[in-house]
Amino acid sequence: MTPNQKTDTTTQKWAPFTYIGRETAFITNLFKKANLRITLRTNNTLQKLLMPKLQPLDKYSRSGAYKQTCPDCYKAYVGQAGRSFTQRFKEHKNAFRSNRNTSNYATHALEHSHPFGPIHETMQI
């Protein structure tokens, strides 16, 4: 080491900082006075860009307990499906269309001449 070189006895500390725009330069200058070095990073990582985006599941694609309400008289049928709610709704609708007594909800709609209604208006999860 030559006599003109100074040895740095203090170690500088580094802190990661997410780049947010023009304000970042102002904030990093404040930290320089406190002997704290800033390293900039971004939220756009390769992992986030390359990972497939998962679509949120439709609430009717699951199974469980449901309540189906008649749109005319507001009487309710409560049921439980091991299949998807969409599949169970189709079963009720097929019983309504074919005039079969395999669904209490469809039987009610047929006996009282009530409309069947779409899934998002009649079925509550």
Q: What is the pLDDT along the chain (125 residues), one digit of tens a residue?
A: 455 555 455 677 888 888 787 888 787 777 777 778 788 888 888 888 888 877 777 889 889 999 999 999 889 999 999 999 999 999 999 999 998 888 889 999 999 999 888 999 999 98
* Parallel, antiparallel or unpaired: strands 36-41 and 123-124: unpaired
pLDDT of residue 5: 52
**H or E element that contains 16:** strand 13-18
Q: How far apart are CA 104 and CA 49, in angstroms?
A: 50
